[in-house]
A and B are shown apart, each in its own frame.
Chain A
């Protein structure tokens, strides 16, 4: 990461304001023209002493299917850090259009259980802008540390794609290898996702990206219908893996076909135990039970 001092923000930025600003920036760039830089901004943003709101935590846990315990679900920490990450992508010197970016994959390291009462320092930055066959991709890193002793508790890396954006100096990636054929296994669960799934998750996560909210707002951004948040889907899969997982774990997800709402999503979770019988890993894959298209897949692994 960058060695520069982080830009300390006084409080968590408002995501709705960031989205409005992103839309305004997009419009301004379209009207005035914009010579995109071919490099990411160097700085990181940080908010210190962040505390989870317990009422919001309970609502999140119930929506995701977690028991309302005092420990923060790993997906909740992602949502907690998300405004800081968004503020980085919202900088005037950020070269890619924020609206319409596609979440390709997500990696989280959860190093110990985090209690809701703990004060947290959240820092985020963007790195590794690189070519993709369909545009330009980059990683947005968020680190959550204990405000008390600075210990790293949680680290997330979200990979986003700015589709159709090709920047000078960023090499276009070679054509991706053809995806392996997917044959749907026997499902271990089927989710019924209502048309309000995006709105409900927006209410607990603060992620009011218009593509998730309604048919009209999604159409305005070129989608036929609203789609479920990727992190909602991955967090539900994590909840379904359940209490078998260790306190410290790695959590990966790769997003493929978006889930258009309303939807039925089939899921299979397989658990791998070590020779001594302790939990080692749970792999999950989700697909559309009608078309057989894969929506996402990933794993949760003991650390």
Chain B
């Protein structure tokens, strides 16, 4: 692995996370079940859902009237009126009104980035406690007026006399009245995320069957986790929903095989991406409670895991040769190298299933000799992960993917898995999170089961 070190953005003499910094502990998490768009949360706003997730967290950990160091959350699809979304959710929650909050947006990596940013503040000693989160509604999405109408309205407001106003109004054309709805298209390519991934999926020659298998495992693993009660202390019911409404426990490879391709149809027979192996639009919210060891101890709260380190990467998907969602393929080798780790040191892999093809393309890149040599600067392939350690409690294909809420879902679930797992070969269990995002970005992180430092 040391060979990958030279491709890291900045070389380090020693792992930075082992210095004198305090540890940022994941105390727990709470989310509301994720709902398919147009379902149970159709009329709920981002603020409603984020507040619901927050209030569930507050109730679970007894944080009523508590002043938290800082709360950070965000939404990808955001109304302009929600400029202070997280602070408004805090004010509507049972937390102390003296809890500061800020909004963050990094597309689908929003949730994980709030965890990393707040964990860093905790490590640096700036705050002792924090709540990270994210929310998205594809149902209650913002719709803007067209550029033409917007310009007319603004000019109308500036016009001083009636003739001036009439002149401004005369610029209005019927097409200006059509609203501007959000879409998942990339601004620079005009291709939707699914179309981008379809190209990447074909580039890495990922089969339809392999994608359907990822989807099948996701549904069955998530259903089994619910059956076991794994989510009992991670999810609070909302609006009559107590499980993710996209979950299909009874899906089968045969059923998945019957679905018609929805992305990459121009590829003809090579089109492999269906509604079954792509995530649907979803509504939902998640939160994660972070703190120092002392802060958790003082309140008798659990310490599930430690946020070890994180890394962001981006690819030139516009003019370069990398797929839109391939940034984690670069971020993970850099992160592991910086921490002196390899795939063998990881016990749980949480690779966000934007599309089954994304997961498989990323794995294929890591297993590819040429990619390892030419793109990662290694002697050969980066490595192969043990599939038995991949998304063992299901992921976004089954749970759904309310963009900014996915990071919080994964961090809280992984922290609990690491805690429940116990030590591996005498060391704390370790997990890797990988999340791809629009704009050719990716954010990845390492979590480790909490273990008391020596001498404590």
Which residues of A approach B to under 8 Å, CB–CB? 54-55, 58-59, 61-62, 67-70, 116-117, 242-244, 277-279
Contacts and interface: CB of A to CB of B under 8 A. Distances in A.
Given A54-B239, A242-B91, A244-B97, A67 B51 contact: yes
19 contacts: A59-B43, A61-B48, A62-B43, A62-B45, A67-B47, A68-B43, A68-B45, A68-B52, A69-B48, A69-B51, A69-B52, A70-B52, A70-B238, A116-B240, A117-B240, A243-B92, A243-B93, A278-B65, A279-B65
Contacts of A69: 48, 51-52, 55
B381 interface: no
Given A54-B239, A242-B91, A244-B65, 20 more contacts: A54-B240, A55-B43, A58-B43, A59-B43, A62-B43, A62-B45, A67-B47, A67-B89, A67-B92, A68-B44, A68-B48, A69-B48, A69-B51, A116-B240, A117-B240, A243-B92, A243-B94, A244-B97, A277-B65, A279-B65
Nearest to B236: A70
Contacts of A277: 65
A70 B237 contact: yes
Interface string B145-169: 0000000000000000000000000
Nearest to A244: B97
A67 B45 CA distance: 9
Nearest to A246: B64
Contacts of A70: 52, 237-239
Given A54-B239, A70-B239, A242 B43 contact: no
Contacts of B43: 55, 58-59, 62, 68
- 4 closest A-B pairs (Cβ-Cβ)? A68-B48, A67-B92, A58-B43, A67-B51
Nearest to A66: B92
Nearest to A69: B52
A283 B237 CA distance: 33
A105 B44 CA distance: 33
Contacts of A67: 47-48, 51-52, 89, 92
B363 to A, nearest CB: 40
A58 B45 CA distance: 10
A68 B52 CA distance: 8
Contacts of B240: 54, 116-117
A137 B93 CA distance: 39
A277 B64 CA distance: 12
A196 B382 CA distance: 65
Contacts of B55: 69
A265 B92 CA distance: 22
A282 to B, nearest CB: 13
A117 B239 CA distance: 8
A220 to B, nearest CB: 34
Contacts of A242: 91-92
Interface in B27-65: 43-45, 47-48, 51-52, 55, 65
Contacts of B239: 54, 70
A278 B66 CA distance: 11
Contacts of B52: 67-70
A244 B92 CA distance: 9
Contacts of A278: 65
B71 to A, nearest CB: 14
Nearest to B32: A70
Interface string B236-257: 0111100000000000000000
A245 to B, nearest CB: 10
A172 B44 CA distance: 51
Interface in B67-92: 89, 91-92
A242 B51 CA distance: 13
Which of A54, A68, A277, A279: most chain B Cβ within 10 A? Answer: A68
A70 B89 CA distance: 15
Interface in B237-291: 237-240
A147 B427 CA distance: 53
B64 to A, nearest CB: 9
B432 to A, nearest CB: 35
Nearest to A277: B65
A127 to B, nearest CB: 36
A128 to B, nearest CB: 37
Contacts of A62: 43, 45
Contacts of B93: 243
A29 B51 CA distance: 52
A58 B42 CA distance: 10
Nearest to B48: A68
A55 B65 CA distance: 30
A268 to B, nearest CB: 17
Nearest to B92: A67
A238 to B, nearest CB: 14
Nearest to A239: B92
Given A70-B52, A117-B240, A58 B44 contact: yes
A58 B43 CA distance: 7
Contacts of A244: 65, 97
Interface string B369-395: 000000000000000000000000000
Nearest to B50: A67
Nearest to A68: B48
A200 B95 CA distance: 31
A200 B209 CA distance: 53
Interface string B89-113: 1011110010000000000000000
Contacts of A54: 239-240
B92, B93, B240: most-surrounded residue (chain A CB, <10 A): B92
